[in-house]
Structure 1
Amino acid sequence: MDCASCVATVRNAVERLPGVSAVEVNLMAERLTVQRLPGGTAAAAIERQVSGLGYHATRLVTSQARPEKQDRGGGSSHVGHLHAHGEDEEAEDRAGTPWWRTGKARLVAVLGGLVAAAWLLSHVFPREASWIYLAATLAALFPFGRRAIALARAGSPFSIETLMCAAALGAVVIGAAEEAAIVVLLFAVGELLENVAAGRARAGIRSLASLLPATARREATAGLEEVPVASLRVGDMVQVRPGDRVPCDGEITEGRSALDESPVTGESVPVARGPGDPVIAGSINADGVLRVRVSRAATDNTVSRIVRLVEEASASRAPSQRFVERFSRWWTPGAMVASLLVILVPPLLAGGDWWTWTYRGLALLLIACPCALVISVPAAIASGLSAGARRGLLVKGGAALEAIGAARTVAFDKTGTLTEGTPRVTDIVPLRDGTDERRVLGFAASVEEGSAHPLARAILTAAAERSAPVPPAANARTVPGRAVEASVGGRRVAVGSPRHAVEAGAALSEEAQTRIAALESDGKTVVTLLLDGLPLGLIAMRDEPRADAAAGVAALRQLGVNAVMLTGDNERTGRAIAGKLGLDVRAQLLPADKLREIAALKAHGPVVMVGDGINDAPALAAASVGIAMGGGTDVALDTADAALMRERVGGVADLVSLSRATLANIRQNVAVAVGLKAVFLVTTLAGITGLWPAILADTGATVLVTLNALRLLRWKGL
């Protein structure tokens, strides 16, 4: 499939079949996914329908395909995947065969030979020249006419093939057989150029998959063996030598080295890794030999998921693309009516020459083809998504990519987003006589045991480092945004904010309140430990801002985007962190409060929410676009509309920049598609240009907008 009109053609044809509940056509992956209701059209019939349109459909059996799933009505539905490509193209065409060896190139050669032979014979037999060109035109029209009929039967009567065939046959009728033959040849050349351009766009996505090596050195009973990466299974042990690409997602069991993760995450500085550290597929081992345990199968590693995400995102339609597609449905039949009026009105009402105005009306048919306009948006979106993925910026579809660039405000979570997410205990303050720091820390650790919250991990780490006794806890529960409570040795223990302690009726002494204020003014987060409702101690922690946080916020400001921090932390700590980074702050927010803040911000324009993808799911969902600072974790890739593989605050500004570059590219493409046709429309009606320049107005515009979209692949970021 070469352009978005191919996508619409296939989708319309399959949606008409009985028992088909959902159809998704992916241009970049050349994949058709069909959801069938029980008793609906058989898979073989769907393949025949697609083949009738001029494509060859091959059923896919992959680990991605789910044999069954529940549809929205509650009934079982079947999901099938087909791979579609031109019927006269061979399988190797999809694997990088040079364009001059493809089926479309062979068709151009045959048609070119026919036109050239007709030209030579017309000089040898000048009296029969018109008949020779007529024969060449009819022979050239055969494959396109057959496709036009198939498309009309499948519900697409106003296809480019229909317009071109009507114009060529009309030219033959009025005696312009020579131009008709050239029009058909130029149309075939245009399709070939579209095929080349689409191939380049797909190559941009396939290059992501090339980050994986073809083979891996797997440990076996007899020693190391060279095996295909696809054969690796979870639990296998592989050896990664210096200079090798890591073949899998896994965990280092032996060895230390610096890993260059830039091909996957965009992180330019090599990262030191050792035993127990995770590694991601596609990164490059710089110096030491590593022994790695495979943690994900080849079809589910980071690179495979990125490729799959980009392909799926390319298939989703952005709002501007939906508008263009709706517009094109009316454009083509409207253009045919306009062509008919051009043919009839001047001769009937103004005494115009029938031959002249019929010729101009036929040329208008060719100008009216919407191919360039329809491809202008998805080509730019696909290139933008691919460019972002190469730099660790993953966006789930054109709608999100468009919305990011329109954002007026970016709201950041604090812990794990603007900060490193690894707070450390800095101060322990006992509030009762006879209570030491280790006892305070031990009680707090017993309540926080098993929690994944960064502050809980800081307390548990400090307790382990100081060998604090941690008694067992029971009946643990969380008061969202406020505290964690449990029963320890029959006594009620709670760890929460000073605000929670006051609301729970615990009286904090003036000295304790003064100490809390001093700690919070230093940018530290303070929690109180309550034992049977009475204060036992204070624990202060600090999480340092990310190294690039201030620069990332400044980059957003330069782009004209406001930044605000939403945090559940206290006002003093929030202001201390926000002051360093130069952004506004809304502090002491419960999860419900964050939702209200986002709703208030959205009243002034689109809002992007940036969180760690774990604790911020409601806020990420409520924002216009949610961005997860995730480093490739499952939660980061699955929760939000976009994810930053490289954990940099500056990545948010990069996403805004990429979105705006994509939107600018879309505007340029639409201007070229519409502008070029407008120019040729005027020149055609004025009699300056004829049929073959008219077909160039379509194919030329299509190629130009595709090549312009491919420029986005060179986007470098801020």
Structure 2
Amino acid sequence: MAEATRRVWRVEGMDCAACVAKVTRAVERLPGVADVEVNLMADRLTVSLAPHAATPEAVTQQVEQLGYRAHPITGSPDKDGDDHRHGGATAEREGIGHGHAHTHAHADDPADAGKPWWRSGKAMLVWMLGGLVLGAYALALVLPERLTYPLFLAATLVALVPFGRRALSLARAGSPFSIETLMCTAAIGAAVIGAAEEAAVVVLLFAVGELLETVAAGRARAGIRSLAALMPRSTLRLHPDGTTEAVPAAALAVDDRVLVRPGDRVPCDGIIEEGQSALDESPVTGESVPIARGPGDRVVAGAINADGSLRVRVLRAAADNTIARIIRMVEDATASRAPTQRFIERFAAWWTPSAMAVSALVILVTPFAFGWDWWTSLYRGLAVLLIACPCALVISVPAALASGLSAGARRGLLIKGGAALETIGVARCVAFDKTGTLTEGRPRLTDLLPVAGGSSDALLAQAAAVEAGSAHPLARAVLAAAEARSLAVPPARGQSAIPGKAVRATVDGRSVAVGSPRHAAETGIALGSLAAEIARLEQEGKTVAVVQADAKALGVLAFRDEPRADAAAGVQALTALGIRAVMLTGDNRRTGEAIAATLGLHAMAELLPGDKLREIARLKQDGTVAMVGDGINDAPALAAASVGIAMGGGTDVALETADAAVLPDRVTGIAELVALSRATMANVRANVAIAIGLKGVFLVTTMLGVTGLWPAILADTGATVLVTLNALRLLAWKPAA
């Protein structure tokens, strides 16, 4: 049986969450269409088409009947479908991030692409309607009403042509209760009862509201896509003979060599092969202090080279570099709906038909219940119909979430979706891994204590043989110390690990193991006088490993992994936010408690991977738990927590693991994530209050006869503008100093 195929379209003209709902509902009605995904910020529609189902052309036609423009994107939905987001040729064609953030390339008419918003089709409609309405008002000062009334009627009819056509298309596509339907019904009703002047103002305000939504959507997109400006347009590619050639940064391929001069932006994710310099990575990570880099160090696309020239080998093509992946991640995150957003959408689904029913009751019942004349009941019923539009309410949540996600990304705080953004702010407890999270993750060997009669060099050589080939931080420290002493490390075979306890191998015919003192005790190793030394070293906050051969202790190694410079400040910032911080570590209790005491948090030590999961489950009984780890060894705990946060020590891991990532590699970034989440959700609550509050006020004043039709449409248009502007304030969010 043939499988369904995934197809992708670029959809132009979507302004808000209501647009997403319209497109989704319309496409879902087509036969054989499944898994419909509409991403507002990426202008992307992705669907699964079953064999012998609706054709791609039918999908395009269905979308365009709603008044949008749909362009099929050929190739893989994961690659080609995202091309418009990358800092390559397509992004440049769209003017993304190259001084054109003020333009709006997503209007309904494709001819509007690249035009300023005031020259788009929607703007032209507003200018024309505004001219008609203002002209009619001006003439009304000198001419009788019978001569100016047709001008107001003409303005109403001019607007009703595009809006009415769209309302009919939406009704056929499964959205009969759209704002277009409500507005057209109210405007036609007003014209019928002789209130063409107010009908003209209603359609003008509606057109202004649509234009402002378009501008706001463009600003929100520009806020996210301005990240593409971090990529240089061109770079110098090195040839084997040492000459250089200027090429587009998007044309770089893996293993190309590039020359990065002082002041240049790094055009790729790569590794330095020659040169020394300080790199300003703040555009990517938000970390303002330049970092010294040299041969063998990795660099990320978008970083600024401060002084020396660098020769860099490309590790990733443009479509997969850090900047492209951040843009893709943030745009995809905006399509992930938070629980609050899902609730608002469910609420709005029954709000509009219910409000239409209330409008009908106002028209039909009030003449009998309150003695209103039919003109008054019809007029006020039409006003209620306009107040019923849920646009402001529906856009209130996703607008704030999109701005919050974008503001975080600009500061190296990456969050994979609205649900994670909402959860982080309500965390009651943050659980930290120790190594590589609260500490630098670069332990160094500080003590070598062989048993009586033993040799320090022999002890270190045996340990290095067992640890050879391991990527564990302690293993690297052992191998580095052996290399520094120029020791001859004997070959080992049969290396294996006991998770969380020890590493063992056969060296010179003996079974040698390097493991924790706890493991040595469990296997019955007699430590003798070493036991007191182990206790002393652990009390100093050092990690101790016991080297044993054929069930006899050879000696102990002690390591020190210094806490990060900002670890104590990061814990203190969380405490100030009312969040409890704990440390989960597999290290021994003395070491864990010694480090925890210096940082001001509680330690849970000697935890195996399974123990960490149980601790996370226990902590979750008291509320939401965030787990912070390096994204490699802590993957199970990150997944088990309410929300997992990866530190950005390894950019690859930070981007791919957990629900959020802190690219600056700062512990204080965790408190910044919490603050961003709380600021975003406060913005959401304010937006919902504005949307519902304005409608409530105008509903009361309408029923009392204080306000009429045009204030009713202003209740929605004004609320939409206010919640959008309020959401855009988040783009300027900065962590507290």
TM-score, scaled relative to structure 1:
0.95
Among 407, 413, 421, which residue is 1:387 paired with?
Answer: 407
The aligned residue for residue 378 of structure 2 is 358
How do 1:294-693 residues align onto structure 2 when only pairs under 5 Å count? 294-431=314-451, 433=453, 435-509=454-528, 511-631=529-649, 633-693=651-711
Q: Which moved more, 1:584-593 or 1:456-465?
A: 456-465
What are the Cα deviations for residues 416-439 of structure 1, in whole angstroms up to 9, with x where unaligned?
000000000111111253x31122
1:40 Cα offset (Å): 2.8
Aligned to 1:150: 169
Contact 1:57 1:85 in 2 (8 A): no
Partner of 2:249: 229
Which residue of 1 is the match for residue 3 of structure 2?
none
Instruction: Write the letter of the residue equivalent to 1:557.
Output: T
The aligned residue for residue 4 of structure 1 is 17
The code of the aligned residue for 2:313 comes to R
* Mapped contact 2:193–2:375 kept (Cα < 8 A): yes
Aligned residue number for residue 113 of structure 2: 92
Q: Deviations over 1:258-293 (max 9, x none)?
A: 111111111111111111111111111111111111
Q: Measured at CA, do residues 635 and 598 of structure 1 come closer, stay the same or move farther in structure 2, by a change above 3 Å? A: same
Q: Is the 8 A contact 2:132 2:151 kept in 1?
A: no
Within the alignment, does 1:247 sit opposite 2:247 as a pair?
no
Q: For 2:64, what is the secondary structure of its paired residue?
A: helix
Could you tell me which residue of structure 1 aligns to residue 99 of structure 2? none
Q: Is the 8 A contact 1:89 1:103 kept in 2?
A: no
DSSP-derived class of the 1:32 partner? strand
Q: Where does structure 1 lack aligned partners over 5 or more consecutive residues?
A: 69-82
Distance 1:584 1:419 in 2: 15
Residue by residue over 1:242-270, the C-alpha shift from the partner in whole angstroms, topping out at 9 and shown as x without a partner, is 11111111111121111111111111111
Show structure 2 runs of 5+ residues with no match.
1-13, 82-103
The 1:352–1:304 alpha-carbon spacing in structure 2 relative to 1, beyond 3 Å, is: same
Q: Does 1:705 align with 2:723?
A: yes
The answer to whether the 8 Å contact 1:56/1:84 transfers is no
Q: Which residue of 2 aligns with 1:104?
A: 122
**SS of residue in 1 equivalent to 2:113:** helix
Tell me, yes or no, if structure 1 residue 191 matches structure 2 residue 191: no
Q: SS of the residue aligned with 1:234?
A: coil
Deviates more, 1:401-410 or 1:479-488: 479-488
Q: Are the counterparts in 1 of residues 451 and 555 from structure 2 also a CA contact under 8 Å?
A: yes
- Is residue 200 of structure 2 the alignment partner of residue 173 of structure 1? no
Contact kept? 2:537, 2:543, Cα under 8 Å = yes
Tell whether the 8 Å contact from 2:444 to 2:560 is kept in structure 1 after alignment: yes
Query: 1:573-608, CA deviations, whole angstroms, 9 ceiling, x for partnerless residues?
Result: 001100100000000000010001011110001000
The 2-side partners of 1:288 and 1:582 are apart by 41
Deviates most, 461-470 or 306-315: 461-470
Q: Is the 8 A contact 2:106 2:113 kept in 1?
A: no
- For residues 67-116 of structure 1, what are the alpha-carbon distances to aligned partners after superposition, in whole Å with 9 as ceiling and x for unaligned? 99xxxxxxxxxxxxxx99443243624xxx31111121112123334435
Partners of 1:465 and 1:104 in 2: how far apart?
70
Go from structure 1 to structure 2 and tell me whether the alpha carbon gap of 1:555 and 1:262 turns closer, same or farther (over 3 Å shift): same
Aligned residues with identical type, % of pairs = 68
Corresponding residue for 1:16? 29
- Is 1:290 aligned to residue 321 of structure 2? no
Partner in structure 2 of residue 78 of structure 1: none
Distance in 2 between residues matched to 1:533 and 1:169, nearest whole Å: 93
Match of 1:65 among 78, 86, 97: 78
Q: TM-score, structure 2 length as denominator?
A: 0.92
Over aligned residues, Cα RMSD in angstroms? 1.8
Aligned mates of 1:462, 1:687 — CA distance in 2: 85
Report the Cα distance in structure 2 between the residues aligned to 1:229 and 1:64, rounded to whole angstroms.
23
Paired residue for 2:219?
A: 200
Q: Cα distance 1:414–1:288, how it changes in 2: closer, same or farther (>3 A)?
A: same
1:661 is displaced (CA, Å) by 0.5
CA distance in 1, matches of 2:185, 2:26: 22
**SS of the residue aligned with 2:47?**
strand
Partners in 2 of 1:303 and 1:183 — Cα distance?
Answer: 44
CA separation of 1:62 and 1:230: change in aligned 2, threshold 3 A: farther
Partner of residue 29 from structure 1, selected from 37, 42, 56: 42
Residue 438 and residue 202 in structure 1: after superposition, are their counterparts in 2 closer, same or farther (change >3 A)?
same
Which string of whole-angstrom CA distances, capped at 9 and with x for unpartnered residues, describes residues 389-446 of structure 1? 111110000100110000000000000000000000111111253x311221111112
Q: Which amino acid aligns with 1:626?
A: G
Shift, 1:129, TM fit: 4.3
C-alpha distance in structure 2 between counterparts of 1:411 and 1:716, whole Å: 25
Cα distance in 2 for residues equivalent to 1:404 and 1:369 = 32
Task: Measure how far apart 1:208 and its partner are.
Answer: 1.1
The question of whether the paired residues in 2 share the 8 Å contact of 1:302 and 1:632 is answered with no
Structure 1 position 161 matched with structure 2 position 180: yes
Query: 1:432·1:536 contact (CA, 8 Å) conserved in 2?
Result: no
Q: Provide the C-alpha distance between the structure 1 equivalents of 2:240 and 2:617, rounded to a whole number of angstroms.
A: 60
How far off is 1:153 after superposition? 1.0
CA contact (8 A) 1:393 1:642 kept: yes
Alignment counterpart, residue 286 of structure 2, candidates 243, 263, 266: 266
Alpha-carbon separation, structure 1, partners of 2:544 and 2:645: 28
Change over 3 Å in CA distance of 1:635–1:221 after alignment to 2: closer
Tell me which residue corresponds to 2:155: 136
- Given that 1:237 and 1:293 are in contact with CA atoms closer than 8 Å, whether structure 2 keeps it comes out as yes
Q: Answer yes or no: is the 8 Å Cα contact 2:32–2:51 preserved in 1.
A: yes
- In the other structure, the counterpart of 1:44 is 57
Render the CA deviation track for 1:446-475: whole Å, top value 9, x for unaligned. 211221111111111111111222222222
- Residues 16-57 of structure 1, C-alpha deviations (whole Å, 9 max, x = no match): 222222111111121112222333322111111111110000
The CA deviation at 1:64 is 5.5
Q: Which amino acid in 2 is paired with 1:698?
A: D
Deviation at 1:119, TM superposition (A): 5.0
| SS of 1:585 mapped into structure 2 | strand
Which amino acid is the alignment partner of residue 37 of structure 1? A
> Is 2:233 the partner of 1:220?
no
**Residue deviations 1:648-703, cap 9 Å, x none?**
00000000111010011111111111111111111111111111111111111101
Q: Which amino acid aligns with 2:420?
A: A
Quick one: distance in 1 between partners of 2:49 and 2:220? 31
**Distance in structure 2 (CA, Å) of the matches to 1:113 and 1:651:** 52
- Aligned residue pairs, count: 699
Corresponding residue for residue 79 of structure 1: none
1:717 alignment counterpart? 735
1:328 to 1:658, Cα distance in 2 relative to 1, 3 A? same
| 2:228 paired residue number | 209
Deviation of residue 352 (structure 1)? 1.5
**What SS class does the counterpart of residue 664 from structure 2 fall into?**
coil
Look up the equivalent residue of 2:351 and give its one-letter code: W
